[in-house]
């Protein structure tokens, strides 16, 4: 997993430097390395969470490279995995935060595509997650 983390971090660097094509490539490599590990160890929450992070980053890159359908598919993968993590580990706030961020970003893509009904549904789910977190003193932001 260390190699996957290196690719993911390199992608973050490229993203910050405005080199989204290079970031996309690095995130893709991180996903390619992490998916088989999660398939082999599906009950390991750390491995699953790291794959969620790579899905999120790759989806972001795809969206900003003008490939919203690829981004949608990845956000949906992330949501599926994050929902599973949240169900198995409800005490871990980070899983709900990550799930909310994925719903939020997916909703914004639907909004930009003028799919208002779908955007509303997905963004409402992001809001519901935020409201669940607020009473616990968590006011972090979704991105």
pLDDT of residue 66: 97
**33 in helix, strand or coil?**
helix
Furthest C-alpha separation in the chain: 41
Per-residue pLDDT of the chain (143 residues; tens, 9 = 90+): 799 999 999 999 999 999 999 999 999 999 999 999 999 999 999 999 999 999 999 999 999 999 999 999 999 999 999 999 999 998 898 898 999 999 999 999 999 999 999 999 999 999 999 888 876 555 555 45
On whether the CB atoms of residues 56 and 101 are closer than 8 A, the answer is yes
State the pTM of this model.
0.89
**How many helical (H) and strand (E) elements, i.e. helices and strands, does the chain have?**
6, 0
pLDDT of residue 77: 97
pLDDT of residue 13: 98
pLDDT of residue 132: 84
On whether the CB atoms of residues 57 and 11 are closer than 8 A, the answer is yes
């Amino acid at each position: 997993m260390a190699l996957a983390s290196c690719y993911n971090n390199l992608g973050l660097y490229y993203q910050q430097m405005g080199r989204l094509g290079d970031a996309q490539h690095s995130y893709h490599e991180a996903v390619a390395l992490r998916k088989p590990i999660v398939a082999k160890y599906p009950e390991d929450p750390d491995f699953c969470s790291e794959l969620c992070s790579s899905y999120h980053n790759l989806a972001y890159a795809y969206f900003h490279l003008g490939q919203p359908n690829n981004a949608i598919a990845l956000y949906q993968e992330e949501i599926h995995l994050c929902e599973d993590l949240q169900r198995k580990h409800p005490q871990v706030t980070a899983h709900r935060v990550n799930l909310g961020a994925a719903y939020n970003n997916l909703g914004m893509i639907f909004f930009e595509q003028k799919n208002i009904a779908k955007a509303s549904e997905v963004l409402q789910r992001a809001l519901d997650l935020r409201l669940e977190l607020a009473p616990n003193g968590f006011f972090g932001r979704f991105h």
